[in-house]
A and B are shown apart, each in its own frame.
Chain A
């Protein structure tokens, strides 16, 4: 592995091993209201360290997706602060931030907007201004990582939902982000595709934050769980412990497994 000459700290030390105790994501007292007056976030604070795999759960309308959009600077303007790898999310920092945070949207049809798989996976690296050879290398590597190496020349609209999901993940992996942020990754997948996705996410050696309703996947994949409701973080701790607290779960529209 080459030594990374990046002004920004990375989750890896440049030799492929994770930096312990490095905060990847710091959110402090985040408030946000949509232009129509709907208040989505009422003071959210959380901190995620490099190498952690964290699930974000809670009922619909709890503010999960709104929070995820803030991590990439797609939404802003409320009170509070978001820091990615120690960098505050501000307009001048956005190009760097967006390369560090790989955001995978819920509907892969929104994420795959190019005619072919190859062009979609190359989109991020190309916009980072990487040289052509590096772009090609990264596309091949990202497709390899999600097990879709032979799909480069396929048309996105010919793929199944599960395949689209994998390609959607590859489109951000090609930017070699420090944090993978997923919005409901297992929604709409059949059992086999879901199983494949879980295995894929487990194998990826990358910091991860995923919003989801799939509690079985949470138990299997994410050692830490954050519960949100009505724009606030109501619980944050080890998944195994939180899943035992029937009252807490039921108070926020979740079910004990």
Chain B
């Protein structure tokens, strides 16, 4: 069952969950942008954003441990930035001897690397906060209301809807291969690398064909119910006073953190 890995939404009766999804989307995007434009080494500002985020997570009754654990998934990607430590000019901290190569780590490089790491980690946590407190259909509606092109939102909706179906399809293909991956008595299981690569290639092709056929059937099902190329939705979202208040608060807080981060540096 893939559903658990797809669904990050945690249903809680909290004021954060109750906010208009548009407010949450805009606030999250603003917060991520604000984290990204903070200068290197603005540790106080980073800390403040993290505290604000923890406060929101607490109000939303999320388990902090879960948020932190989920946020680690993006760290490996940020580690690519480790090269900065050795390429940025600055005061030398230490020198590594790699054969005939000499790598010297600079202080400025280290600060930038740690800042990038922190910023990406914060951004991922903010995104997790958003999807843990907003149902996916609400999120899609919010994007639509925020004038994201309808085609993009539709693609996103289909992807989310059919990801589980596709993964199940892959699992079935893999299982079918495994069930027949036998060995003859005293023989060796599995063919040459080339042969196995070809099997994998065929499976990818199968998956593509099946998806193509499925998309045909889905399109038929849409046509059968009157689809004429335009997406229509009921508009269930209305901004209330508390939504505006929350949005205003978030913007003021983010601006304050920006100002602090820049003056303290």
Contacts and interface: CB of A to CB of B under 8 A. Distances in A.
Interface of A: 69, 72, 74, 95, 98-99, 101, 103, 105, 107, 109-111, 113-116, 119, 122-124, 126-128, 132, 135-136, 155-158, 171-172, 175
Contacts of B161: 113-115, 156-157
Contacts of A101: 224
A127 B234 contact: no
Given A113-B218, A127-B232, A157-B3, A74 B223 contact: yes
B160 interface: yes
Nearest to B230: A127
Contacts of B262: none
A111 B165 contact: no
Given A103-B221, A103-B224, A113-B161, 10 more contacts: A95-B228, A105-B221, A105-B224, A109-B165, A110-B221, A124-B225, A127-B227, A135-B234, A171-B225, A172-B225
Contact of B222 (A69, A113, A128, A157): A113
A123 B220 contact: no
Contacts of A114: 137, 157, 161
A114 B225 CA distance: 13
Contacts of A126: 232-234
B226 interface: yes
Interface string B202-238: 0000000000001001101111111110001110000
A132 B221 contact: no
How big is the B interface, by class? 20 to 34
**Most chain B beta-carbon contacts within 10 A, residue among A95, A135, A157, A158:** A157
Contact of A175 (B7, B218, B225, B233): B225
**Most chain A beta-carbon contacts within 10 A, residue among B217, B226, B227:** B226
A36 to B, nearest CB: 14
B154 to A, nearest CB: 10
Given A105-B217, A115-B136, A157-B165, A123 B225 contact: yes
